[in-house]
């Protein structure tokens, strides 16, 4: 339900009470209450507006320079970004990546989930039936608006604008946290992982799927592409490396449960429409979906070659917050 207050600010008047309990002021981590002007702490010292679409604006004034840069970047590329995700070959390869990702998810873990850098609500696109109570956080209001339209009617999943290193979520609130291609947008990996660790319950898991550049060839190619493509931001985007990720996760307190790589030449051909202009023409090729499926099989076989097991372009990782009393 949408209501206009006497001050002229439009806000969503009903937020699921279970979700409201999980929200917290990103500055103080105090609980939040619905007020006439949006959300606020009990002392009214920290207040946050809610957009006409029902999106709490925690990053309207509170954000890091990197987050601001990403926000401004996505304002420029959001339309083309969404268009590229809709090509048949992209959809087919993404379906493969979705399957290998879900194979890592423990049944029941998505009952209460936070998706960080959620974009258009990628997790709900993937497994809306398995996803229960949740919060999606992103710095881009344009992407969040698209998420609200895409998942209209999901009262048990709230999209909020926030900085990934200053999450508007209380301590130990979620059984799982998910990130699809978000980590590589965050320069402060230590701050990000500490925030993810903080909002997970003991025994909770952090699931992620991210671009990986451990294989020298991908590092070289991406070093060039990131500097020439207007769709990418070389100053704030940095694909993962094992040595820059796993030790930082462990320092934050996590135990690594999985680190598996996927995608090879097929990924290069069918998944980079925003960078490889010729790739967009593939949508006109008869049987392109079947051809894409064939290449996913070739990519899987390639990674079984000795020395290439960890040379994929994407990594699916699982990190667990130890249960209390262990370790």
- Name residues whose C-beta falls within 8 Å of residue 68's C-beta, 6 or more positions apart in sequence: 139
Residue 199 lies in a domain: yes
Number of domains in the chain: 1
Band (295; pLDDT cuts 50, 70, 90): very high
For helices 189-199 and 242-252, the axis angle rounded to 10 degrees is 40
43-47, 164-168, 228-232 — most confident range: 164-168
Does 325 map to a domain? no
Q: Please report which helix (H) or strand (E) contains residue 104, including its range.
A: none
The kind and range of the H/E element at 296 are helix 288-302
| DSSP 8-state symbol, 214 | -
CB 193 within 8 A of CB 254: yes
* DSSP output for 123-185: HHHHHTTT--EEEEEES-HHHHHHHHHHTTT-TTEEEEE-BTTB-SB-TT-EEEEEEES-GGG
Contact 23, 135 (CB under 8 A): yes
Residues paired with 179 in a beta bridge: 208
CA 300, chain centre distance (Å): 24
Residue 326 belongs to a domain: no
Q: Which domain holds residue 197?
A: 2-320
Residue 323: pLDDT over 90: yes
User: What CATH number is given to the structural domain containing 250?
Assistant: 3.40.50.150
Chain centroid, CA 183 distance in Å: 7
Determine which helix (DSSP H) or strand (DSSP E) holds 64, and give its type and residue range: none
Residue 188 burial by CB count (10 A; 0-12/13-18/19+): exposed, middle or buried? middle
Q: Would you tell me how many other CB atoms lie within 10 Å of the CB of residue 114?
A: 27
pLDDT-derived band at 8, boundaries 50, 70, 90: very low
Structure tokens, 87: 């090509």
**Whole-angstrom Cα distance, residue 22 to residue 33?**
11
- What pLDDT was estimated at residue 55? 95
Token code pair at residue 36? 């006439």
Instruction: Tell whether 217 is covered by a domain.
Output: yes
Q: Please state, in angstroms and as integers, the Cα–Cα distance from residue 87 to each residue in 15, 288, 327, following that order.
A: 35, 10, 47
* Residue 133 CB coordination number (10 Å): 20
C-alpha angle 131-273-307 in degrees, rounded to nearest 5: 80
| End-to-end Cα distance, the chain | 47
| Cβ-contact 145, 86 below 8 angstroms | no
Residue 84 counted as domain residue? yes
pLDDT in tens, 239-268: 999 999 999 999 999 999 999 999 998 888
Whether the per-residue pLDDT at 220 is higher than 70: the answer is yes
Distance CA 120, CA 159 (A): 9
Q: What would the pLDDT profile of 156-200 be if each residue is shown by its tens digit?
A: 999 999 999 999 999 999 999 999 999 998 999 999 999 999 999
Q: Phi and psi for 215 in degrees, rounded to 5?
A: -75, 130
Contact status, residue 225 vs residue 59, Cβ threshold 8 Å: no
**Tens digits of residue pLDDT in 69-103:** 666 666 665 565 665 667 888 889 999 999 999 99
Sort strands 314-320 and 200-211 into parallel, antiparallel or unpaired. Answer: antiparallel
Q: How many helices (H) and strands (E) would you count in the chain?
A: 10, 12
Query: CA separation (Å) from 240 to 131, 133, 162, 217?
Result: 26, 29, 22, 14
Asked if the structure places residue 227 within a domain, the reply is yes
CA-CA distances (angstroms) from residue 128 to 96, 152, 206?
17, 12, 18
Within a domain: 327: no
């Amino acid at each position: 339900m949408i209501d206009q207050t006497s001050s002229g600010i439009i806000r969503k008047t009903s937020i699921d009470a279970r979700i409201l309990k999980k929200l917290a002021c990103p500055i103080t981590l105090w609980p939040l209450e619905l007020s006439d002007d949006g959300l606020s702490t009990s002392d009214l010292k920290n207040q946050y507006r809610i957009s006409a679409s029902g999106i709490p604006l925690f990053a309207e004034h509170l954000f890091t320079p990197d987050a601001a840069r990403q926000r401004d970047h996505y304002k420029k590329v959001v339309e083309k970004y969404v268009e590229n995700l809709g090509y048949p070959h992209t959809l087919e390869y993404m379906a493969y990546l979705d399957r290998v990702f879900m194979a890592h998810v423990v049944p029941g873990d998505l009952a209460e989930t936070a998706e960080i850098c959620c974009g258009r609500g990628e997790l709900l696109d993937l497994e809306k039936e398995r996803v229960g109570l949740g919060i999606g956080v992103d710095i881009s209001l344009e992407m969040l608006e698209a998420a609200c339209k895409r998942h209209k009617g999901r009262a048990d999943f709230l999209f909020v604008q926030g900085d990934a290193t200053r999450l508007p979520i209380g301590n130990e609130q979620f059984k799982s946290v998910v990130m699809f291609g978000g980590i590589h947008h965050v320069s402060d990996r230590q701050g990000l992982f500490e925030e993810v660790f903080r909002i997970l319950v003991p025994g909770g898991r952090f699931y992620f799927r991210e671009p990986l550049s451990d294989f020298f060839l991908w590092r070289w190619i991406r070093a060039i592409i990131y500097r020439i493509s207007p769709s990418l931001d070389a100053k704030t985007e940095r694909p993962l490396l094992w040595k820059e990720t796993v030790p930082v996760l462990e320092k934050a307190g996590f135990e690594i449960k999985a680190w598996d790589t996927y995608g090879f030449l097929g990924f290069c051909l069918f998944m980079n429409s925003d960078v490889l202009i010729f790739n967009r023409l593939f949508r006109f090729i008869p049987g392109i979906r079947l051809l894409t499926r064939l290449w996913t099989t070739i990519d899987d076989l390639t990674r079984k070659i000795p020395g290439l097991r960890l040379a994929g372009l994407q990594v699916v990782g699982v990190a667990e917050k130890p249960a209390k009393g262990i370790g």
